[in-house]
Copies of this chain bind each other. A is one copy, B any other.
Amino acid sequence: MRLLDGLPDFPFTIEARDGAARAGVLETPRGAVLTPCFMPVGTKGTVKAIAPERLRMVGVQIILANTYHLALRPGSEVVRRLGGLHRFMQWDGPILTDSGGYQVFSLRDTARIDDASVTFRSIYDGSKHVFTPERAVAEQQALGADIIMCLDQCPPGTASLSEVKEAVERTSRWAERCKHAHQETSGRGTDGPQMLLGIAQGGVVPELRRESVARLTDIGFAAYAIGGLTVGEDRAAMLDTTALTASLLPEDRLRYFMGIGDPEGLVEVIARGVDVFDCVLPTRTARMGTAFTSAGRLNLRNAANTLSKEPLEEDCPCTACQGFSRGAIRHLVMQKEILGLMLLTEHNLTFLTRLVTAAREAIVAGRFASFRDGLDAVAC
């Protein structure tokens, strides 16, 4: 096990570069992750509406689970006693857990925060909870994912400059406490070694991003995440901030953009040097009856699909496209049949996985720019 300051440091190798875009391999104890890589979100211990074995068939390499939700229901200790998150979810590949911070701050009306901790009320029963950096690490240790995250303060896109500045300050101090807490157990969780990632904040303010990255890299993490984006800010500013932050982060470390999953957006962050990303978008979009296709989004509720014998996407290998007509899927969606959600979820994840795989191949072949231009043409 390679270590960094006594903490697990899973090897990350960059195989090819094309402009700022990179094709790499992260070697986790539960298998290699080829990057760029999209991570589906398994909010409460399941990627909604798809079984784990099917995720494998789709080509998913790593999944994300939410500490906020699992810590409250069924409780991290319950997951630990049931054998840890891999056994609990029946996913033997790598898992990443977030710190819970994002959910705590999304419910900010009920959150009280100071340097020591953040106090919030559970969305499940209104009960009061106190999260500290140490508790965020402890919850993630109990859950037992392979990759865990520091507790950060993520302000909304509408935050004032001073609020964003304060968030950078606090996130930096909390990152240090998280690393220390993790070192106390030698970086081990319920189920083996855990790699801890620091999260850069700073909104869309270049000097605050510089400050945040400088503070985090001073502390030193095995890899880094770009947080605090796609929270309501302007898209151009989001992309510029991504490019800047990625360029400031250590070249040889994995970069994780937190919270992007639209086909256009993830190609753009790959172009700016991001390696992994996650989002509920593809699975949530599916449950709303919409399919990703290379001709754009397809809303199955549209009556024009009623008599369509076409598949969602011509050469797609997913279960939906290997036989179900758009008309049949529209019927399932209109009747709120679970199979409709299952089929669209698998399709959207297949679409994104194939898109990211194609992006990787383009990077390796040194033709990423033309790949990206080609996507503009098909409006995906």
A88 B325 Cβ-Cβ under 8 A? yes
Report the separation of the CA atoms of residues A88 and B291 in the bound assembly, to the nearest whole angstrom: 18
- For residue A235, CB closer than 8 A to chain B, the reply is no
Q: Is A159 an interface residue (CB 8 A)?
A: no
Please report the C-alpha to C-alpha distance between residue A324 and residue B86 in the assembled complex, in whole angstroms. Answer: 10
Interface size class of A (residues with CB under 8 A): 35 or more
Q: Is the CB of A307 within 8 A of B46?
A: no
Within 8 A of B (CB), among A308-351: 309, 319, 323-325, 327-328, 330-332, 334-335, 337-339, 341-343
- A81 lies within 8 A of chain B by Cβ: yes
Nearest residue in B to A88 (C-beta to C-beta)? Answer: B328
Listed from nearest, the 10 A-B pairs whose CB atoms lie closest are A46-B339, A49-B338, A90-B323, A74-B331, A82-B327, A88-B328, A46-B337, A44-B335, A82-B325, A81-B307
- A13: interface (CB < 8 Å): no
Q: Is A372 an interface residue (CB 8 A)?
A: no
A341 proximity list for chain B (CB < 8 A): 338
Q: Quick one: given A45-B331, A51-B319, A342-B342, are A306 and B87 in contact (CB under 8 Å)?
A: no
Tell me whether A73 and B331 are in contact in the complex, defined as CB-CB below 8 angstroms, given that A90-B324, A323-B90, A342-B51 are known contacts: yes
- Knowing A53-B319, A341-B338 touch, does A327 contact B46 (C-beta < 8 A)? no
Q: Quick one: closest B residue to A339, CB to CB?
A: B46
Q: How far is the CA of A337 from the CA of B74 in the complex (A)?
A: 13
Q: Is A354 an interface residue (CB 8 A)?
A: no
